Amino acid sequence: SEASSDAAGGTLVMATNAEFPPYEYYEGENVVGIDADIAAAVADKLGMELKIEDMAFDSIIPAVTSGKADIGLAGMTVTEDRLENVDFSDTYAHATQVVIVKEDSDIASPDDLEGKKIGVQLGTTGDIYAGDIKDATVERYNKGFEAVQALTQDKIDAVVIDGEPAKVFVKENEGLKMLDEAFTEEDYAIAVAKGNDELLDKINTALGELKDSGELDKIVDKYITA
């Protein structure tokens, strides 16, 4: 934004994977979405200029740990494994993993996924959880959208993916539906390098202010219509 373009506080580099509507996706040449708006609001509060770096989802944590990026903000679920490599801010969204199937599928609940061919996005929690399903074959795609495409082409039986992008993908592709029963519940947070407590504290303070002022809800409402 104009206000932060000559900020004295330096640049806040955000690593993300802009294939994840409504959290981050391209509108023309710009990365927009809930996470992009949250990052802009946080950067503004920190007096920093925001720079968004789009990369593969599984490159985000390495970018943060190596210092190439200051934050990872990508609808990223807090997991025990990730906490070994990065620190996470307070959570800013509750999320689910859901199952997408063809409208005429015999898969009616997550229990029916046993022995099925399941598409996921590489390195996501969907990838991790699908691996736990008995006798299932997991097909990994670089983009969630590619998994959905494979489903429409009957190359796989189901896709396990985050609930909000699932809604977008189901809406954009004919003949698909989302199962009512969620596969898992999870929470999204912002990743920072381990031990970078100064930045983590500032981010948590900014997030807290955005929650208290109602600004966070406003950002979410802008992208998610009930």
Question: What whole-number distance in Å separates Cα of residue 126 and Cα of residue 144?
Answer: 10
Rg of the Cα atoms in the chain:
18
* Closer residue to ligand GLN in complex, CB, 20/169: 20
Least distance (Å) from ligand GLN to the CB of residue 77?
4
Least distance (Å) from ligand GLN to the CB of residue 47?
28
Q: Give the 3-state secondary structure of residue 205.
A: helix
* Closer residue to ligand GLN in complex, CB, 79/213: 79
Task: Give, for 222, the enclosing helix (H) or strand (E).
Answer: helix 215-223
Q: Residue 6 carries which DSSP code? A: T
Least distance (Å) from ligand GLN to the CB of residue 131?
13
Least distance (Å) from ligand GLN to the CB of residue 140?
12
* Closer residue to ligand GLN in complex, CB, 46/98: 98
* Closer residue to ligand GLN in complex, CB, 7/128: 128
DSSP 36-104: HHHHHHHHHHHT-EEEEEE--GGGHHHHHHTTS-SEE-SSPBP-HHHHTTEEEEEEEEEEEEEEEEETT
Contacts with ligand GLN, residue ranges (CB under 6 A): 17, 20, 57, 74-77, 121, 124-125, 144, 162
